[in-house]
Amino acid sequence: MDCKEIQDKLSAYIDRELAPAEEERIRLHLDVCGTCTARYAMLLQAWQALDAWQDVAPPDRMRTKILASVRPQRRETRFRAALSVAAALLLVFGLAFYYFGQKSGSMQHLADSQTPVQTAVGDVSEEEIMANLPLLQEDDFIEALDELVRIDDLPLAEEPSNSIKEPERSSLNLVVT
């Protein structure tokens, strides 16, 4: 390799983008050639000077704005979904009690078994997150169901069973507000 060829590769050499053998050849040439070494030093210094332009922290409001522009319609659809889920639940449970009479405790158990398992999100991969986002948008009905189950005072409270605490009128309000 002549000096011209070497100098054409100095940039890739600086960026460690060369094959080991090629890198070694350039290193050996730089050991003996003042012209190429001077050129190398100049390019390297300029490249290192770019470090003076440091990262800045994004404004705090950015995250809030992103979430806000993604959520409003979401909250609305979820609210509507939550209402219909609540109505469906009332109907289902009403019918269940009508047909099977009072079986104390069984419905409470059902509610417990539906409580979603909270999982740590710290080491979740981007692929997993991305796979989940469409669910976030499309499965509003299912999520609304989850939301309802997560709230302790379900419309289940309408159940006349002894094992369940006093019915609370405010139960649905929790979802509505």
Among 1, 33, 83, 90, binds Zn ion (CB under 5 A): 33
Binding partner of 32, given Zn ion, other proteins, none, CB within 5-8 angstroms per partner class: none
User: Among Zn ion, other proteins, none, what does residue 21 contact (CB within 5–8 Å per kind)?
Assistant: none
Calpha distance 106→148 (Å, rounded): 18
* Three-state secondary structure readout of 68-132: HHHCHHHHHHHHHHHHHHHHHHHHHHHHHHHHHCCCCCHHHHHHHHHCCCCCCCCCCCHHHHHHH
Please give the Cα distance from 138 to 147 (Å, whole number).
15
Q: Which is nearer to Zn ion, 3 or 87 (CB)?
A: 3
State the CB neighbour count (10 A cutoff) for residue 5: 11
Minimum separation from the CB atom of position 3 to other proteins (A): 15
Compare residues 91 and 142 and give the one whose CB is closer to other proteins.
Answer: 142
Is 36 a residue that touches Zn ion (CB under 5 A)?
yes
Return the residues of window 81-120 that contact other proteins according to CB under 8 A: 116-120
- Whose tokens are 């509507």? That residue is 80
36 touches, from Zn ion, other proteins, none (C-beta below 5 to 8 Å by class)? Zn ion
Instruction: Quote the DSSP letter at residue 164.
Output: S
16: DSSP letter = T
Scan residues 47-66 and list those touching other proteins (CB under 8 A).
47-59, 62-63, 65-66
The listed partner (Zn ion, other proteins, none) that binds 103, CB under 5 to 8 Å by sort, is none
Q: How far is the CB of 113 from other proteins (least distance, A)?
A: 15
Q: How far apart are CA 167 and CA 148, in angstroms?
A: 16
For other proteins, the binding residues (CB under 8 A) are 8, 10-12, 14-15, 17, 42-43, 45-59, 62-63, 65-67, 69-70, 116-130, 132-139, 142-143, 146
